[in-house]
Each structure stands twice: as structure tokens, then as C-alpha cells.
Amino acid sequence: MIFRLPLRSIRTKFLLVGFAAVLLSGSVSFFMAAEQRRQMEDQLRSGAVNLARQTEFVMAPLIAFDSRDEMKKALELLRTNPDFAWARVSDETGTPLVSVGGAPPTRCDGKSGKELSDNGVVLRVSTPIVDGGKTWGCLQLGISEERSRDSAKRLWTITIIGALMTILVTLACGAYLARTIAYPVTRLAEAVSRIEHGEWDTRIDVSSGDEVGLLARSFQSMMQELRRSKNYVDDILHSMNDSLVVVDKERKIRTANPATYSLLGYAEGQLVGEPIERITSGIGLLDAARLRGEESSSGFEIEYVAQDGLKIPVLASVARMDDHNDSVICMAQDMRERNRGERELLSAKEAAESANRAKSAFLANMSHEIRTPLNAIMGYSQLMLRDSNLGSGAKENLNIINRSGVNLLALINDILDMSKIEAGHVKLNPAPFDLLGLVKDLEIMFRLRAETKGLKLEVDISPDCKRSIESDQGKMRQVLVNLLGNAVKFTERGSITLRMSTVQREDHQMWLSTRVEDTGPGIAAEEQAGLFRPFVQSQSGRDVQGGTGLGLAISQQFIRLMGGEIRLASEVGAGSTFYFEVPVQPANGGIVSRQMATRRVAGLQPTQQARQVLVVDDDANNRGWLTTLLKIIGFSVREAKDGAEAIRLWQEWKPDLILMDVRMPVMDGMEATSRIRQQPGGTDTVIIALTASAMDEERRVVLQNGANDFVSKPCQEDELLQKMQTHLNVSYLYDDTEAHGSDAGATPRPELTRGAVQELPRELVVGLQLAIRNGEKARLNELIERVGERDAKISRALKKLADDYDYDALTHLLEGAPE
Amino acid sequence: MTRRQYIRLAIGVLCASRKALGKFTDEFAVIVHPSNRFDTLSRSKVSYLFLRKVSRWPWGAEVAPLDLAQSEPIRRLFVQQVLGISEEQLAAYWIDQRATRGVSPPLQGRDVEAAKLWVAARPGGIAYVPSSALDATVKILRIGS
């Protein structure tokens, strides 16, 4: 590579300065010499004129008397002047009179001039000889210039020698300066120029100790530092897997890292200086980013074009560089692998989702298919229980059938719940509810079961436990049923205890704390871990037959959904305690009325006007048991086997209420519902949908289509009748004497009136009130026993209320007592 | 004063005096040796002789001027009319001449008779006497223009 020195290099400048100095000194010397010579000539001339004047003064009388000897003598006297060459005196006519020193034959004309003679150049002056107003003649003088010429020559010689010496000294100085300053500086400049052209290995060999040497050494170390930092940056650029391109404001590529070259298939260095458009057309985005003045932006999906024209999708991010070039760094990641991965992932996801949809559809269908016959089984078994002609053995068998149906339904629900949990479809539906009422229901539900196994069921509600809270009642119930059910199932001796309390923590969050303790066989430590996983059963769970192994898994998921965690403390042979805490909200509004699930409806109140109910179901069995049940209760019932028939019957009969099955041939229940709703007077009729689907989705659709409510199939008699009561605003007569249904352990409440309580002794009533207010269950029980000594019926009734934790009712009764 | 200045002064004096001079009187006459070849000389040439600017006559005889004493009445006229300068200027001229050229002023005759004798005795002699005292021993040199 040629490193050409710039025209104005330091050496050139030195030379120019030297040359100027030489020129100046030469010309000054020359002019000085010329001036000197001119002055010499002037001096010579004026000297000659003076000489002539002096002589002239003497010469006038001599000419007057023509005394030539005297004249000659006088002229001879002039020879004492060293420059004298010749002299001549002429008379006034110009005729020469006397001359000395070989005067040339020039006329005396009063002019001066120069002549070349044997003695060299002679200056000639002539002057008229005037005295007493008369011109006597003319004097001519020749003055040799040789002497002054000699001195002028000497001066010239000295000047030339001086000039030559000046030149020599200047050149020497120039050479010295060039060697000591310009040369090292030039070397430095060349080295810098090489480095600039990328020859990073250039060494600077300047070893002088002056400032230039210092500069060179500093530069050397600076360069090493620079090289190190460049190497560092190069290492980074080389080790990057993503492409990095620096684009200047002319949109030319300034830098591209090796990954860029290998990605696009160019030879190393080939892209530098190329316009960015050569590798991508998506650079407009970068420009836009620059225009927006953003420091950096990322996540552009653009395409790079390889040398062979292949388009490579990249994920680009740009950042502005803080340099004067307004450069932009563009980093790009090859998206091909990722896109491929994403596509695979996407297809896998789609496959999984479709499989899951298939599973959900299968489950929904299956549950529907199972529920429909189950509906008939349970319906008729419930219906048959109403037959008073049946013997107790047959009733027991019917109960077993009914209970099995309920268990089967629970099993299906469990499986469905689990699949919904796995699909993430389960959501909390928090609402205010009566916590103590729930506990009471559970106690009723499990007491009989426990007692038949010889177990003691204890319920310990802390006195300050909030009576009503806001939470998901259904799920809470399901969890507690599961835990209590497990406890009853696995415990052979001893007791089962349900403890419950609400605690206000520091953060003002209320927590519901619940423990279910049993004295069962306990669970081995190694089995505890897997206990909450679906379809995992403990050894004892396998020993005791039955169960899906889903109960705890579902419960755990529900509690987690509520923000808690079911934990287990257990030792083999020492019983188990399942406990959890969930955050709850204290309920502000009124307490939702408890379901009157435990009382069996005997019929409509006699004062009630007859209500018309249309039963729509394609399954004749289902229609049959519903019709029978409702007719027993006292409703006027007609049947339709599909939606179309239902609409026709509705038009002609105008029933008060329609029980509408959803899935039917010809016209399904949803369409029939929405058609009825569109007709005049269509909103007067209450429509309760009957659906065998356990999917919340379908229930929501049913309500959206205009149904007032829905009842899941298989229909539970009390649920159905209760909903009919709500919507039709009818009142029933209850049959209090006989238990029914699966949880037949519920004891009917004895009749209790204020009047009876008012007859109790005052101290007993106050004691009871205090015990209730302080929540002292034991004391309450003790007082109730004492009541029993006086009146067994009242005692039984109070006991029932106390056991049901119906403190409200108790308080109400006792308040009525006399002061 | 330098020599050159004196010279200029003298020249100036001569030029000025001539103008002031006007015409010559007949009260004195310039006398020379009877052998003298000149009959008439210009006034300036006469003054060259008396001021000793010329030392020899053209034929080689030495110019021997003789002045009169200052007490003689015609001396004043001569100096004024022929030399064209004042007595003081004349005195200064001679001091200068003596100093620069080593030339002394002419001797002074005791009286008019002495002057006639001086001229008669020397071929190059020249003097001046009153017109009344002229005789044959000397030749009158007329002053021309």
C-alpha cells in the first residue's frame, strides 16, 4: 500500500521555510550590495566634482594669463587622489590647453559619463571654469572606478559567500529538524495511516527522547489499548450467534459480524460499504424507528436476503448508536429454527387441544348417556318409596337402589369435576351463604353413617365463628363431604371431629380454618405425598373397597382455587388430621335461606289454587315418573314428547310452568323455549330446563335462551319441587314423620312453640341464653338435659336445635320467655 | 569656516563689488615695467595679479605686485575699484591665502616713489600710483573692460 505524503508535509514546510530564508537573505544581500555600489558611485562622482571645483578655482587666473606650466603643476597636484586617472583644461572655446594622465579626446561639454580605458572604467566629469562672472574655460577630470569596483567586488564576494553559508546553514538546520522532528512525525503519521487502513500490527519505531518520542510512545500504548479493545469487540462480534450489522446514515453497512456472513453466505468483508437494501428490504422499519427518535426498539419480524436469494426470516431489533454518524445497530436472530419449532409446537398444541375437546365431548356425552337412565332409576325408586303399601324390606331395597344411584351420580360428577379441573374450566362462584347451616347439613348427613359404624361424630364450632361468609358454598361443601366421608370410611373405632373457626389476621383478611380429625389407621409418611394426586389411593384406601381415588385430588384443587392448601398430619395407628385454611369474606347481606332439603313434600296446601305443569321429555320413563310425582303433589300435568308438541300444547293449554328437557328429537328444548318466549304472552310461563349435561356451559346457554331456571338430571325430587315452589310461589304441606332419600338420617324437628318454652323456669332460660351467647356447647347440653327432667319433648326439640347450631332459632324461642 | 566657504565668500565679494563699483576713476594708474608686453589688461586679470593668483607672466617673468600703505589715499580707491572688495574682505582673503596656500600678501611700498622704483627695477613688477605721479620710468597698464 502506498502511503503518499501530503503536499504540505512538515518536511515540505521546512524546505519551504528554508528556501524562503535563503531567498530573502540572498535578495537582501543583493540589494544591499547594489545600494552600496550606487552609493560608492555617487561618492566617487561627487568627489570628482569637488576636485574639479577646487581645481577650477585655481585654474581661472592661470587660464587668464595662459600660464600652462602653472596649470600643469596644478593638475599634477590632483594625482595625489588615488582614483585620479586623467585631467585636462581647455579654454573657453574648448581648445585643450593642458592635460595630464592620457586624457581621451572628448570635448569639454559640461557632461559627465563613463569610458572604458586601459585602466578600466573611468568616470568622466567636466566642469566649466568660472570666475568673476566670466567663463574662462573647462576642466575635465577622469576618475578611475577600479578601486570602488574592487571594493564592490569584495562586497559581492562577501555577500555571495554569506548567502551560500546561509543556504548551507539553513539546509543543515532543515535537515536536522527534518531528521529530529519531521522524520519521526512522518513515521508516526505513516503508522497511523496504516492503522487507519486496518494494519493493526503496525509498530512505531520512534526512539527519540523528545516530545515526538513521547508522543510516539504514548501513541503506541494508546494503540495497544485500542487494539485490545478492538480485539475485545471483535471477540464479542465473533462469538455472537446472531447477526449484527451497523448501518450509517447513508444506509451503508459499516460493520457486519461473522454470523451475518455465515447466515447470508457472503465472503467475510464483502458486505462492508454495501447498501443495507442488499440484505434486507425491511429496513424501512429501522428508519421508522430512527425517525421516531427511539433509542432502541425490538421485535421486528423482517426478512434478510442471502446471497443466493434465499429469504431468511429474522427477528430484528435496532438501537441507535451514540456517534456522529447517526448509525444504527441492527441485530437479527435467525427465526427459521424457532419458526419451525413454533410450528411444531403449534401443531402439537392443536392436536392436544383437539384431543382434549374430544375428551370433553366424550365425557359430556357419556355423562349425558349415563344420567338419562339413572334419572329413571332414581326417579322411580323415589316414587316407589311413596307407596305406603310397601313392606319395610322392600323400602330398604329401594333405598339401596336410590343410594347406589346417588353414589353413581357422585362418581360421574367426580370424574367430570376432575376432567374440568384438568382442563382449567373450574371457576370459583363466591356468594354469601350460611356457614353454620352448611355444617348442620353435614352433621345430619354424616351422623347416622358414623353412628351405624359405632363412631362418635363431634362438631366443634368456635363461638366467634362467623355464621355467614362469602365463599363458594358448593365447592366448600364438596370438600367437607369428601373429607368427612373419608374419615367415616376409614375409621373403625373412636371418633371423628370437625373443627371450624374464622380468624381475622393482621392484614384484615378473614380466614376460615377447618380441621377434620379421625382416630383411624393413619397414613404412612411415604404415602402422604401422593395422596392428593388423582387416581392415587393409599393402602388403606385400597383395603377399603370403593372410591375413585379422585376425592382428595378434587378437594385439594378446590381449596387451592380458593387460595388455601389441604395439609395432612398423620401417623400410622394414631389417626389422621386433614386441615386447611382459606381466605373468606364476611357476608354483608342477608343470609341465604337454607334449602329445606330435609323435609319431604307431601302435597300442595289445600288453599292453593291448582297449577298447570307441562312435562316435556322425549324419554317416556322420565316423563312418567315426573308426571306421577307432580300429580301426587297436586299439580295438573300434561306431557309433550318434543319441542314442537310442547309449543302446540302451550298455545292451547297455557300452562303455568314447563319442565323442558333440553336434548330432544324434532325440536330441542332450547329452541322451543326461545320460540315460546317470542310469542305474545310467552314470558308469562315459567320454564325450568332439565339437562343431563353436567357442563356449566350448557346450563348458561339454557338460561340465555330464556329458561327461568334449570335442574340437573337425574332430578332430585326436593330440588325440583323447591325450584317449582320458588318460581310458582306455591306452598307445600310437608310430611314430617318420615325420612326419605339417600341421607335418611335427618331427624325431623319436634314442634316447639314459645308458649311451651315460656313455661320453663326463669333461671333455666337465662342459663340457656348465657350458654348460647357464650357459645358453651357443653353447658348448653347440660342445661337442655335439665330441661328434659321437666319436659322431655321440649328438651328433645331444644337438643335438636342445639345440635343443628340453630342458635338463632333458640335465641328467638328463649327471648319470648317471660321476664 | 572651511576653506571652501571662504572661497565662495571671496567669489561672492568680488562679484558684488564689481556691481557696486560702477566706473573706474582716473585718480590712479596701474604701472608695470616698461618691458611688459601687455598694454591693456582686464580689471579681473589685474586683480588676479595683485591677489597673487597668478605667479608668472605669460613670458615667464615672475609677477611681483606691490601694494601701497593704507595711509595712501588712493589705496582705498584701488581696492574698491580694481579688486572690488572692502579692506576687511581683503584682509580675510590674505589670512586664508596664507593659511591654505602659504601665499603672503604683496609687500607695501612706503610711498608712491618707492612704488615707481619697485616696478622700474623688476621686469615682472606691477603697482599702482596716483595719476599725477606718472613718469617715464614705468609703463602704464590700462584697465580694459
A131 with B54: Cβ contact below 8 A: no
Sole residue written with cell 368456635 = A462
Quick one: pLDDT at residue A546?
Answer: 53
Q: Identify the pLDDT of residue A275.
A: 84
Decide: A662 and A691 in contact? Cβ < 8 Å.
yes
Measured between alpha carbons, how far is A51 from A49 in angstroms, rounded to an integer? 5
Give the DSSP per-residue string, A212-230.
HHHHHHHHHHHHHHHHHHH
CB A133 within 8 A of CB B15: yes
Task: State the CATH class of domain A431-586.
Answer: alpha beta
Residue B133 scores a pLDDT above 70:
yes
Low-confidence ranges of chain A (pLDDT < 70): 1-9, 110, 118-119, 206, 282-296, 364, 423, 535-548, 588-599, 693-696, 735-756, 758, 774-775, 804-808, 812, 815-819
As a whole number, mean pLDDT of residues B100-120 equals 88
Of A54, A61, A132, the CB nearest to B54: A61
Q: What pLDDT is stored for residue A591 in this prediction? A: 44
Return contacts of A337-341, CB within 8 angstroms, 24+ apart. A339/A313
**C-alpha–C-alpha distance, residues A672 and A46, integer Å:** 151
Note the pLDDT of residue A358.
81
What residues 66-125 of chain B have any CB closer than 8 A to a CB of chain A? none
Residues of B in contact with A133 (CB under 8 A): 15, 18
Q: Which of B2, B11, B50 best tests the A interface by mutation, with the highest count of A CBs <10 A? A: B11
Domain ranges of chain A: 10-161, 240-334, 431-586, 754-815
Contact status of B7 with chain A (Cβ, < 8 Å): yes
Q: Let me know: does A502 contact A553? Beta carbons within 8 Å.
A: no
Chain A interface, best mutation among B52, B54, B56, by max A CB count within 10 A: B54
Q: What is the CA radius of gyration of chain A?
A: 65
Q: Nearest by CB to B15, which of A69, A70, A133?
A: A133
Question: Chain B: nearest CA to A133, how far in angstroms?
Answer: 7
Structural domains in chain B, CATH included, are: 3-144 (3.40.190.10)
Q: Can you give the three-state secondary structure of A507-521, one letter per residue? A: CCCEEEEEEEEECCC
Q: Report the candidate in A657, A659, A673 with the shortest Cα–Cα distance to residue A612.
A: A657
Alpha carbon A101 to its chain centroid, in Å, reads 121
Q: Say yes or no for a CB contact (<8 Å) between B48 and A61.
A: yes
Residue B61: burial class (beta carbons within 10 Å; 0-12, 13-18, 19+): middle
pLDDT at A784: 84
* Residues 453-492 in A contacting B (C-alpha not used; CB under 8 Å): none
DSSP lists the bridge partners of residue A113 as A124
Nearest to A18 by CA among A171, A146, A168: A171
For the stretch A714-760, pLDDT in tens is 777 777 888 888 888 888 877 654 434 333 333 444 456 666 676 77
pLDDT at A808: 66
**CA distance linking residue A543 with residue A537, whole number of Å:** 10
User: B15, A132: Cβ pair inside 8 Å?
Assistant: yes
Nearby residues of A336 by Cβ (< 8 Å), 6 or more positions away: A312, A313
Q: How far does the CA of residue A56 sit from the closest CA of chain B (Å)? A: 12
What is the rounded distance in angstroms from the CA atom of residue B127 to the CA atom of residue B108?
10
Cα–Cα distance, A801 to A814 (Å, whole number) = 12
Are A182 and A200 spatial neighbours (Cβ–Cβ below 8 Å)?
no
> In sequence order, which residues have a C-beta less than 8 Å from that of residue A300 and are 6 or more positions away?
A282, A285, A286, A315, A316, A317, A318
CB contact under 8 A, A70 and B54: yes
Q: A239 CB contacts (<8 Å, ≥6 apart)?
A: none
Element (H or E) spanning A149, and its range? helix A146-177
- Residue B4: its chain A contacts at CB < 8 A? 54
By the CB < 8 Å criterion, does A64 face chain B? yes
**Banded pLDDT at B22 (limits 50, 70, 90):** very low
The distance of B92 to chain A (nearest Cα, Å) reads: 17
Contacts of A64 in chain B (CB under 8 A): 42, 44-45, 48, 54
The CA distance from B109 to B112, in Å, is 7
Fold assignment, A10-161: Beta-Lactamase (3.30.450)
pLDDT at A745: 37
Angstrom distance (rounded) from CA A798 to CA A553: 39
CB contact under 8 A, B44 and A64: yes
Can you spell out the DSSP letters for A444-490?
A: HHHHHHHHHTT-EEEEEE-TT--SEEEE-HHHHHHHHHHHHHHHHHH
Does B28 reach chain A within 8 Å, measured CB to CB? no
The three-point CA angle A302-A303-A306 to 5° equals 155
DSSP category for residue A607:
T
CA distance A440 to A437: 5
- Cβ-contact B28, B131 below 8 angstroms: yes
pLDDT of B120 strictly over 80: yes
CA Rg value for chain B = 15
Q: Which fold has domain A240-334?
A: Beta-Lactamase (3.30.450)
Predicted confidence (pLDDT) per residue in B40-95, tens digit: 988 888 998 999 888 888 888 889 999 998 888 888 889 988 888 888 999 999 99
Interface of A with B in 133-152 (CB under 8 A): 133-134
**CA closest to B50 among chain A residues:** A61
Give the number of C-alpha atoms closer than 13 A to the C-alpha of residue A500, restricted to the C-beta side: 22
From the number of C-beta atoms within 10 Å of its C-beta (0-12, 13-18, 19+), residue A694 rates as buried
Residue appearing with cell numbers 332439603: A597
Output the nine-digit C-alpha cell for B90.
581683503
**Residues of chain B with C-beta less than 8 angstroms from the C-beta of A61:** 45, 48, 53-54
Which residue in A has a C-alpha nearest to residue B51's C-alpha? A61
Contact A70 B55 (CB under 8 A): yes
The reply to whether A10-161 and A431-586 are identical in fold is: no
- Cα–Cα dist A794/A806, whole Å: 15
Q: CB B45 to CB A133 under 8 A?
A: no
